[in-house]
Structure 1
């Protein structure tokens, strides 16, 4: 069996920036164990697979795997999948409906960007967060902790996010993904994302984290349209908007390579 693999840099307009995703289009699903082994072999934060949908409610079904486990939502690999469909595979319609473990995700081509309609996950305040969280984030001073899927940790300023030196052993022991965030200087807000519990110490740019970040910062800043930066070494840019119970996350992509997997 031969499979085509594309590697796309997502949430960036230049090569070697943003978050690289491995995209593997399929005619039909292969086994979960094989998808997990392929993700482990690719060793990127996410390997994404999609197949043509059977029913009328979606165009494709989509699944995402880290090197260690399947996840319920991934932004950069969804963006990369849409880029491959729009710009490589010749998908001719302006919108793609992906059926996922987080419901229908509609992705739209919009000039030089691709926009994703994602669930809005409003994080709630947490008072009993693990004491190890401070040490896990390099003895940082925490302003507040909220949570939906992931811990959302706010700190006082952008430099604290940029200079944070996490202890990934401690964060893995906590067992939850962690978003570190602050109000931005050249962006409305900035963030970093740590997920050693699923095999990713730091994710370069994390669309799914913005399902929490957008409603959180919209409430704090009193605005629905925002520009965000993720301050990993590779860096990334996201254009964000809060709707009623959904968020829109837009970004750019760059093609890196096409390969063939021989199984």
Structure 2
């Protein structure tokens, strides 16, 4: 019998049972193959599930593999913050700096304990590849969303997960979207769709739709938060290095708060940082027949 221990965390919140849920499976001596990890992620049925593995290099504290309900992803935001809090939980220090190895490279994450099971974390994100979206595709996306236009050009950013960004001119328009997921998936392809609107000089409301996942609207998306800040800086809507506060998750009953900072020089993104709160809410075990698998 294969026994696998996991922790549950709520990420991008300082309130238990808010934010984005996460399952993190502890490092085990039992080999796990990709098929088993994907099946376990589907069993957990959360936005992402993390498996901690031994680091492959000497410069990382741990290696992780990240799975949505349908596929492995190279990089994701809330899983890394949640994993860092779990790794820091048993350390004596109140502040811990970690280097977590992902398929997209090593991601530095710093974690601060706030007493009990509450933490705050910040990560330095991989820099995304930026691509313009063809006008015809952008029009199809806007039509499905029920929006007449995007304040900024619809743009694709990819640092391990491809995200499309649509900026509405009013927060009410973002909150009022009723997603038609099959049509939205056909319009966006394999990309996730982020619709946002400014609510102040350095704050915004945002929603992220992932039509092909079994969790089609994400409560809080860290991998989208950083490029969103960069998108605003690139187009002069936010000063380089300014922290923006993003509100997400109300539409799915999981209110979340994300913080993001992006530095841009001559339209070149030079750094992205994303942070937020983490609450460790529980733990458990899976008991499975030993498949004798190899990674």
Q: What are the residue-to-residue correspondences of 1:160-239 with 2, within 5 Å?
A: 160-174=173-187, 175=189, 176-185=191-200, 188-219=203-234, 220-233=237-250, 234-239=254-259
Which residue is equivalent to 2:27?
Answer: 26
- Matched residues in 2 for 1:129 and 1:192: separation? 22
User: How far apart, in 1, do the equivalents of 2:273 and 2:248 lie?
Assistant: 20
Residues of 2 paired with 1:135 and 1:232: CA distance?
Answer: 23
1:136 equivalent in structure 2: 144
The answer (yes or no) to whether the contact 2:99–2:107 under 8 Å persists in 1 is yes
- For residues 260 and 186 of structure 1, the distance between their equivalents in structure 2, rounded to whole angstroms, comes to 45
Cα separation, partners in 2 of 1:226 and 1:165, compared to 1, 3 Å? same
- The CA distance in 1 between the partners of 2:175 and 2:92, in whole Å, is 38
- The answer to whether structure 1 residue 247 and structure 2 residue 272 are counterparts is yes
Q: Which has the larger radius of gyration?
A: 2
Give the match's secondary structure for 1:252.
strand
Rounded to whole Å, the distance in 2 between the matches of 1:45 and 1:129 is 30
Larger mean CA deviation between 221-230 and 41-50 belongs to 221-230
Quote how far apart the aligned CAs of 1:111 are.
Answer: 5.7
Higher mean C-alpha deviation, range 121-130 or range 47-56: 121-130
State the superposition RMSD in angstroms: 2.0
Structure 1 residue 34: Cα displacement: 0.5
For structure 2, list consecutive stretches of 5 or more residues without a partner in the other structure: 115-119, 264-268, 289-295
| Correspondence for 2:77 | 75
TM score, norm. by length of structure 2: 0.82
TM-score by length of 1: 0.91
Consecutive aligned runs of 4 or more in structure 1 exceeding 4 Å deviation: none
- Residue ranges of structure 1 left out of the alignment (5+ in a row): none
User: 2 CA distance for matches of 1:109 and 1:152?
Assistant: 29
Cα offset, 1:78, TM superposition: 0.9
Task: State the alpha-carbon separation in 2 of the partners of residues 231 and 108 from structure 1.
Answer: 23
1:191: Cα distance to partner? 1.3
For residues 129 and 231 of structure 1, do their structure 2 counterparts lie closer, same or farther at Cα, with a shift above 3 Å needed? Answer: farther
Does the CA contact (< 8 Å) of 2:192 and 2:208 recur in 1? Answer: yes
Distance in 1 of aligned mates of 2:136 and 2:224: 18
Residue 127 (structure 2) pairs with residue 120 (structure 1): yes
Partner of 1:99: 101
Provide the C-alpha distance between the structure 1 equivalents of 2:244 and 2:226, rounded to a whole number of angstroms: 14
Q: 1:45 aligns with which of 32, 47, 51?
A: 47
Are the counterparts in 2 of residues 162 and 231 from structure 1 also a CA contact under 8 Å?
A: no
> 1:147-201 deviations in whole A, cap 9, x for unaligned?
1222111111212112211111112223221111111238522211011123331
For 2:128 and 2:27, the matched residues in 1 are separated by: 30
Q: 2:154 is matched with which residue: 145, 169, 194?
A: 145
